[in-house]
Amino acid sequence: MGIRAKDRQIDNIELNVNDIARSKAFYGSVFGWNFVDYGPIYAEFSDGRLTGGFTTGEPVRPGGPLIILYADDLEGTQLRLEAAGATISRAVFAFPGGRRFHFIDPDGYELAVWSAS
């Protein structure tokens, strides 16, 4: 039997990375995530609502599903990402309900950030 409160919701995201410390520094500095280390090849991250993990136990697989993060301050978030070394892969664009942009993290994963404003 499943956990009722989590049925059909994203429960965990796992990213294969080359350097856990680098990934923690990158996402911690831009989004303020918290981390718990579980040995040398795995660290859990939490944004206060969703958890996931960074692992070096498998090869890096850039691509995969697009993870979309929310930010009240879209421009401020883009500046923090650029300062942390991200590459903006798609400039801010409008869509029904908000605006978003895409970026590439240090391991080559493309993610997006959106805002309703």
In this prediction, residue 61 carries a pLDDT of 82
pTM assigned to the model: 0.81
Question: Rounded to whole angstroms, how far apart are CA atoms 70 and 42?
Answer: 25
Which burial class, exposed, middle or buried, applies to 49 when counting CB atoms under 10 A from its CB (0-12, 13-18, 19+)?
A: exposed
Question: Rounded to whole angstroms, how far apart are CA atoms 39 and 82?
Answer: 30
Question: Rounded to whole angstroms, how far apart are CA atoms 12 and 33?
Answer: 14
Average pLDDT value over all residues in the chain:
90
Tens digits of per-residue pLDDT, 40-63? 999 999 999 889 999 998 888 877
Does 3 score more than 90 pLDDT? no
